A and B are shown apart, each in its own frame.
Chain A
């Protein structure tokens, strides 16, 4: 016997919400990226849960695609943060307003 799909979805949604909340209240770029990872992880949980529900590996395949995107996104994001830090000597995102009208 396994847990109901509703529990998995609830958990997935809750983790996603935590990530989204963190994303909204944070000011430094590193924490933003970390919260983004949390959101992606939450979405992954739903994929794996559905995969288990239908006993079909399709969800797990989607999990792989999401994790690929997560890896790329974090690598590029961190490279951007490093460049930003070289420029501004801080990682606060409210300093990034050179294009402000």
Chain B
């Protein structure tokens, strides 16, 4: 029971922060709320029993990806003019959003009442969510996917390097402002 109420609280926090991410006007605010959202999501994963995944969520999302975002936002240091006018959310999209959600719930009710029953508890000696269990699966059954992920990462590194590369300018002698430049 305690776990379920914890789950509901965590889910509410995830939803709240997700909303703030989507609808706060400035990117830096979105980014900060997204970091918080990732933390609550990690908490959710802990409640679901996937401890290692929860830590990876913080390590990769909050610790690496969002750092990159914040870094770029700070680097560009945009003023509101350069960001463009944000349109506020139109009422029709809110209706659509709520409608879609309720439709999903309806389908879940109709299609499978068993989906609304609590999931089976883990056995006390269950290895679910541990590093060992995950690594076992990752390096045996899904080893090709794992290798593919490595290749994708390598491609991304090369791609970003290409994108960011600029030819170094030929060196010109530098002069201080008060010095006369040779004519």
Question: Is B176 in the interface zone, CB < 8 Å from A?
Answer: no
On whether the beta carbons of B78 and A91 are closer than 8 Å, the reply is: yes
On whether the beta carbons of B68 and A75 are closer than 8 Å, the reply is: yes
On whether the beta carbons of B22 and A35 are closer than 8 Å, the reply is: yes
On chain B, the residues within 8 Å of A25 by CB distance are 23, 86-90, 93
* Interface residues in B48-86 (C-beta closer than 8 Å to A): 48-50, 52-53, 56-57, 60-61, 64-66, 68-69, 72-73, 75-76, 78, 82-86
On whether the beta carbons of B68 and A52 are closer than 8 Å, the reply is: no
On whether the beta carbons of B64 and A71 are closer than 8 Å, the reply is: yes
Residue of B with least CB distance to A71: B65
Residue of B with least CB distance to A29: B27
Contact digits for A76-101, partner B, Cβ 8 Å, 1 yes 0 no = 10111111010001111110000000
Q: Which residues of B contact A (CB under 8 A)?
A: 1, 3-4, 7-8, 11, 14-15, 18-19, 21-23, 27, 30-31, 34, 37-38, 41, 44-45, 47-50, 52-53, 56-57, 60-61, 64-66, 68-69, 72-73, 75-76, 78, 82-90, 93, 97, 100-101, 104-105, 108, 115-122, 126, 128-129, 133-134, 136-138, 141-142, 145-146, 148-149, 152-153, 155-157, 159-160, 163-164
Given contacts A2-B48, A27-B84, A60-B134, contact A34 B15 (CB under 8 A): no
Secondary structure of the A side of the interface? Answer: helix
On whether the beta carbons of A1 and B3 are closer than 8 Å, the reply is: yes
On chain B, the residues within 8 Å of A4 by CB distance are 115-119
CA distance A90 to B121 in the complex (A): 52
Given contacts A6-B108, A38-B22, A64-B149, contact A58 B137 (CB under 8 A): yes
Query: A82 touches which one: B22, B50, B72 (CB < 8 A)?
Result: B72
Query: A67 touches which one: B3, B60, B97, B164 (CB < 8 A)?
Result: B60
Shortest beta-carbon distance from B75 to chain A in Å = 8
Given contacts A1-B118, A76-B156, A76-B163, contact A92 B93 (CB under 8 A): no
On whether the beta carbons of A79 and B160 are closer than 8 Å, the reply is: yes
CA distance A78 to B122 in the complex (A): 41
